[in-house]
Amino acid sequence: MHLGTLSIRSSAFTHGGRIPVRHTADGEGVSPPLVWSGAPQGTRELALICHDPDAPMTHGFTHWVLYGIPSGTTELAEAGGQAFTDGVNETGSPGWMPPSPPPGHGDHFYYFHLFALDARLGLDAGMSRSMLLDQIDDHVIEQARVVGLYSRA
């Protein structure tokens, strides 16, 4: 992997900023809009994982696993992602699982990791975060992330 130009952001929150209630279990629970640019030459496919390492579980909590995103794609609209291959979130269900940290547990950081891959992998739906990472490990040519935070009183 090399340091490059791949970047990802959201119009719903700034990097390190608070995720709006609309995108959490306390609101409508829709996934936030994401936009990226600078995919390196040789990118054939993209993958996205949203993970909360602050969840009170030994391995954190995965909120979203999405892959099979064509290299020419540069955004996911709010509540988007249906056109791509869904993995499973921590509950074993496909799609976005909105943030729902335990009340009083403090700030949780939600990492939206975008991976540029050097191959079209054609992976089956239903992969967990760890399964996907195992499959893409040798194909990641660059990655970027944007981080949002959320907490409940």
For the stretch 33-61, pLDDT in tens is: 999 999 999 999 999 999 999 999 999 99
Structural domains in the chain (count): 1
- Classify residue 111: in a domain, yes or no: yes
Over residues 87-97, the pLDDT tens digits come to: 999 999 999 99
Place of tokens 């993970």: 51
Q: What is the pLDDT of residue 3?
A: 62
At residue 99 the predicted structure's pLDDT band, cuts being 50, 70 and 90, is very high
Query: What's the rounded mean pLDDT across residues 11-23?
Result: 98
Gap between the Cα atoms of 31 and 58, Å rounded: 25
Question: Contact at 8 Å (CB) between 43 and 74?
Answer: no
Q: Is residue 2 part of a domain?
A: no
**pLDDT greater than 70 at residue 2:** no
Whether residue 1 is contained in a domain is answered as no
Q: Residues 71-86: what's their mean pLDDT?
A: 95
Alpha-carbon dihedral 75, 81, 83, 86, rounded to 10 degrees: 130
Asked if the model's pLDDT at residue 124 lies above 60, the reply is yes
Distance (Å, whole) CA 136 – CA 62: 17
Q: Which of 43, 21, 49, 57 is nearest to 116 (CA)?
A: 43
Say if CB 141 and CB 40 are below 8 A apart: yes
CATH code, domain with 126: 3.90.280.10
| DSSP at 45 | E
Res. 1: pLDDT tops 70: no
Mean pLDDT taken over the chain: 96
Pull the structure tokens for residue 26.
């306390």
Where b means 16+ CB within 10 Å and e means fewer, 81-112 reads beebbbbbbbeeebbbbbbbbeeeeeebbbbb
Which structural domain, as residue segments, surrounds residue 67?
7-150
Does 129 map to a domain?
A: yes
4 has a pLDDT exceeding 90? no
